[in-house]
Structure 1
């Protein structure tokens, strides 16, 4: 009788191990199926869609995969601007030296070509600034953006390339 109980206990333990092994195999199988489905939908489908968008040539696909190479930055210094600015009390002066950042040599040539028009418009823009506004860092940032937009507008109006990335102050003095 004692032997019979031991045999039954051994069968129960063996059956329990078999259940665990089957459960683990099912989980591994489900993970493998999920990984295969993810690979198919994320990798294979996106490649098919990319080929449908283009003509399917491998050369075009290789170009699309390569990172875009950008031209080096070009820093072009403009002449200094000195203007009277609006302020309560004594007369205030603003002297600004700035550098235009671009990646296009044609923009530099256009800036040199249209210097009189650029100086006229930027002098008017700078003279309209208020001391209290320009005296803050937010005001300076806003002025830099206004100068960039003005330069872009001048070059566009003149029919020149206008790809200006940034306007940097190299000297900013208020008295």
Structure 2
């Protein structure tokens, strides 16, 4: 009788150990697949250039646009100008920095600061008080300033040197 009980125990232990082995195997396989997927996602292939179509119809790749280290060139003095409003005139002061890529563009921008200041002042003075009072209006002004600076520098440098126009200070009284 004791032998029969021990045989029954041994028979019951074998399926449990096989089940445990299968469960651990499946968990291990899932873990390996998750790690492999994460490595593939984060490391990925080096051919991650996405092409975009610009306004003039030409195709640019992301690698061509974002080459080099970002440099920030601050304008030497803030832009100070009056804007006529409905009730009264407002005084506006904007501090601007330009983002360029590479040290060559950094030197090139510093060379053409008077031209850039003229383009920015022309853009800023054409604004109205209501637009500059809202966040959306400031973003629109920033984009307009970027386009104006790029279009002004394009005939001189032969390419779009400035990548972003950043407002680092904005006061309206």
| TM-score, normalization by structure 1 | 0.59
- Matching residue of 2:148: 150
Q: Which has the larger radius of gyration?
A: 1
- Matching residue of 1:92: 90
- 1:125 maps to 2:123: yes
| TM-score, normalization by structure 2 | 0.60
Native 8 Å contact 2:99 2:162 kept in 1: no
- Matching residue of 1:9: 5
Higher strand share: 2
Structure 2 Cα separation of the partners of residues 77 and 86 of structure 1: 25
Bigger RCO (CA 8 Å, 6+ sep): 1
Unaligned runs of 5+ in 1: 54-68
- Matching residue of 2:21: 25
Native 8 Å contact 1:86 1:131 kept in 2: yes
* Number of residue pairs matched by the alignment: 149
Spell out, residue by residue over 1:89-140, the C-alpha distance to the aligned partner (whole angstroms, 9 max, x if none): 2333323332223343333443344445433332221122121221234433
Unaligned runs of 5+ in 2: 48-66
- RMSD in angstroms over aligned alpha carbons? 3.8
